[in-house]
Amino acid sequence: MTSTSPTLTRRAALGGFGAALAMPALRPAFGQGTPIKVGVLHSLSGTMAISETALRDTVLMMVDWVNAKGGVMGRKVEAVVVDPASNWPLFAEKARELLQVHKVDVTFGCWTSVSRKSVLPVFEELNGMLFYPVQYEGEEESKNIFYTGAAPNQQAIPAVEYLMSKDGGEAKRIALLGTDYVYPRTTNRILRGFLKSKGIGDADIMEEYTPFGHSDWQGIVARVKRFASEGKKTAIVSTINGDANVPFYRELGNQGIKAEDIPCVAFSVGEEELAGIDTKPLVGHLAAWNYFMSVQGAPNTEFKQLWQSYIKNPKRVTNDPMEATYTGFRMWTQAVERAKSTKVDDVRAAMIGQKLMAPCGYEEEMLPNHHLSKPVLIGEVQEDGQFNIVWKTPNAVKAENWSPFIPENANRRR
């Protein structure tokens, strides 16, 4: 095989990223053909940068990883990074730029549901392919999107079931606290339906929303305390997103709410979010995810080592959306190899049924509804900012993106 290094157009060099360029001598030999382009559509500035920069790094790490193995179908993979800056309309513009100007073969991106809703019509119009790596509210299915995060039945509902179980404290009243946008509102609507089906009435459910970045939680936490003092065991279900979580947990600690009395289970708080916070007052509060950094087993050890050596920091943590990005990327390489093509229609067909032993320690499978089967894990916060896994499902759970608790969409279930 002759070493024909791919010619880099100026645009690719400008818009892209060239770890391989920096070390030409170490570049593995690639076969014939132009490089495969991978778009990265994550906010690198603005409010969501705190969460999304790690996902950009994960995709870049995977590009390095696949190139070190000789690329996909012998072709080199190249990343094209754009910054939609936590600005929802800009997400759509940047998606269009990736598809039309850079002509990427696949895109990994988005965190908030509002950004995904903003790019969805673009991907459908131009027949692109997006891998979305974050747990979300469901009620969506597109042939152009693969959802590698959890649907509500893989996170929210099992978590509330746990709170109502003997081990979880047999909660009889639930306070639903969330950030004011589509994901928390839809999730809480599903949970309300679920709680009703379990015999918990409206009088025992409290629901409150706050804006993004809310920092003054005194009133809300005081009201939760009062709500909890009406003779029934109470738990908090938090869909609070982004860095508003830090002052929220600080207020819980300052007002002396202990996990033994009022446990709080969160759906958007992972290792990365806990990194900026004093976790001592939070010990015992819960999070529900499909992956924790503390999962034992070879696939996770491999994943953690890959990440920490890529980022050159042995203390950096991994989290669930990073694992979902990793899993999605590996399944995409498998599907391309199987389809022997990077055409969206071919890869899409090859994606269904792809399996991978994921870092969460379970075999995950891409289902025909473009969602994964995933295990559900519930962890308690420990003093070191890691999670102690206190409950998990015996098997991977199949995603139900259309919830039976949303009446108008329930008939769309497969």
Partner 1 sequence: MKNLLLALGVLLWLALPARAQDAFTAALPGLAGGFGDIATSVEQLGALGDPRALPILRALQAGQLQKHADGRLLLPGNTDAATGQPADASGAETVRLNNRVRQALRGALGRLQLVSPDAAERGAAAEAIFRSRSAEDVPTLQAAIARETDAGVKAKLVLALAAAQLVAPDEEAKRDAIARLGAAGTVEARALLIEARAANPTLVTAIDISIASIERSLSIRRAAETLFQGLSLGSVLLLAALGLAVTFGVMGVINMAHGEFVMLGAYATFMVQEACRGIPWLAPWSLPLSVPAAFLIAAAAGAALERGLIRHLYGRPLETLLMTFGVGMILQQAVRTIFGAQNREVASPAWMQGTLMLPGGIAVTQNRLWIIVFGIAVLLLVIAAIRFTRFGLEMRAVVQNRRIAATMGIRTGRVDALTFAFGSGIAGMAGVALSQIDNVSPNLGTGYIIDSFMVVVFGGVGSLAGTLVGALTLGVVNKVLEPYAGAVLAKVFVLVAIMLFIQRRPRGLFALKGRAAES
Instruction: Return residues touching partner 1 (CB under 8 A).
Output: 44-47, 49-50, 53, 166-169, 180, 208-211, 213-216, 218-220, 222-223, 225-226, 228-232, 243, 246-247, 250-251, 253-256, 259-261, 263, 272, 275-278, 281, 284, 380, 388, 390
Q: How far is the CB of 355 from partner 1 (least distance, A)?
A: 31
Closest to partner 1 by CB, 141 vs 261, is 261
Pair 97, 43: CB distance under 8 Å: no
Query: Please, which residue, 53 or 334, has the CB nearer to partner 1?
Result: 53
Helix (H, G, I), strand (E, B) or coil at 230: coil
Nearer to partner 1, 125 or 384 (CB): 384
Closest CA to 71 of 30, 107, 34, 21: 30
Minimum distance, C-beta of residue 255 to partner 1, in the bound complex (Å): 6
Report the distance separating Cα 201 and Cα 410, nearest Å: 22
Helix (H, G, I), strand (E, B) or coil at 275: coil
| Residue closer to partner 1, measured from CB, 216 or 408 | 216
- HSE of 56, CA atoms in CB hemisphere, 13 A: 20
For partner 1, give the closer residue by CB, 106 or 282.
Answer: 282
Q: Is 310 exposed, middle or buried (0-12, 13-18, 19+ CB in 10 A)?
A: middle
Q: Torsion angle of alpha carbons 276, 278, 284, 290, nearest 10°?
A: 10
Tokens of 278: 């004093």
Question: What is the smallest separation between the CB atom of 53 and partner 1, expressed in angstroms?
Answer: 5
130 contacts 114 by C-beta, under 8 angstroms: no
- Tell me, what DSSP letter sits at residue 391? E
Residue 44 identity (one-letter amino acid): L
Q: Determine contact, residues 320/270, Cβ cutoff 8 Å.
A: yes
Specify whether the CB–CB gap between 95 and 85 falls below 8 A.
no
CB of 254 vs partner 1, minimal distance in Å: 4
Shortest reach from residue 156's CB to partner 1, in Å: 19
d(CA 106, CA 122): 13
- Smallest separation (angstroms) from partner 1 to the CB of 89: 18
- Closer CB to partner 1, residue 275 or residue 339? 275
Pick 120 or 293: Cβ nearer partner 1: 293
CB of 45 to partner 1, least distance (A): 6
Residue 200: which of 167, 155, 232, 226 has the closest Cα? 232
CB of 168 to partner 1, least distance (A): 7
Q: For residue 276, what is the DSSP state?
A: T
- Closer of 237 and 246 to partner 1 (Cβ): 246
